[in-house]
Amino acid sequence: MSRIGKQPVVIPNGVTFSVSSENVVTVKGPKGELTQAIDRDINVEFKDGQVIFTRPTDQIRHRAMHGLYRALVGNLVKGVTDGYKKELELVGVGFKAANTGNILDLALGYSHNIIFEVPNELKVTTTTEKGQNPKIFLEGIDKQLIGQVAAKLRSLRKPEPYKGKGVKYAGEILRRKAGKAAGK
């Protein structure tokens, strides 16, 4: 049995949980509302403030779906109660980030500035402190959307292995390479 799939998802106070007849889970909490479609083979039961997932057989497909949907619903519950945050850092001389509402203006060493529109579901803030790298903060309730937007921002200028310049996640450890002087 899936170790993650057999763990119940505890629904905290102030969060409402419902499952429709088409196996669509809806979670409402203090921060907002999220929905997730569940595979028709996976059974979802809500009792005693817990959500329990069961699968019909031990087929590889059913075993994979069992843990997946349990994790996705767990992420929904955490998102509507606490929310998610992602922090990105711009490393490089002249790299800048500024935002007006949900529109990011990035200077990443290209001949032009990059204008990036962040979805309305997320809140974006930027900080620039003297002596520190500019930072971009993403906040929201949807873990998948935050991860996707952060990955897209990182792909605009991935950190290079020699000097480490580029857009990186805060706390990300980069594999650095020695330059050509090290070969002598």
17 and 40 in a common domain: yes
Q: What is the pLDDT of residue 134?
A: 95
Report how far residue 120's alpha carbon sits from residue 41's, in angstroms, rounded to the nearest whole number: 33
Domains of the chain: total: 2
Q: What is the pLDDT of residue 121?
A: 93
**Of 57, 81, 105, which residue is a domain's last?**
81
Q: What is the pLDDT of residue 2?
A: 63
110 and 77 in a common domain: no
143 and 127 in a common domain: yes
Report how far residue 23's alpha carbon sits from residue 19's, in angstroms, rounded to the nearest whole number: 6
Residue 183 included in any domain: no
Report how far residue 66's alpha carbon sits from residue 55's, in angstroms, rounded to the nearest whole number: 6
Structural domain boundaries enclosing 70: 9-81
Report how far residue 79's alpha carbon sits from residue 31's, in angstroms, rounded to the nearest whole number: 8
**pLDDT for residue 1 is more than 60:** no
| Of 56, 61, 53, the residue nearest 17 (C-alpha) | 53
Place of tokens 């087929």: 59
Report how far residue 160's alpha carbon sits from residue 179's, in angstroms, rounded to the nearest whole number: 12
154 and 94 in a common domain: yes
Residue-wise pLDDT for 64-108, tens only, equals 999 999 999 999 999 999 999 999 999 999 999 999 999 999 999
pLDDT, average across residues 160-178: 92
100 and 56 in a common domain: no
Q: Is 167 left (phi over 0), alpha (psi -120 to 50) or beta?
A: beta
165 and 88 in a common domain: yes
Assign 3-class secondary structure to 53-117: EECCCCCHHHHHHHHHHHHHHHHHHHHHHCCEEEEEEEECCCCEEEEECCEEEEECCCCCCEEEE
**pLDDT for residue 21 is more than 90:** no
pTM of the model: 0.89
138 and 104 in a common domain: yes
Residue-wise pLDDT for 47-68, tens only, equals 888 999 999 999 999 999 999 9
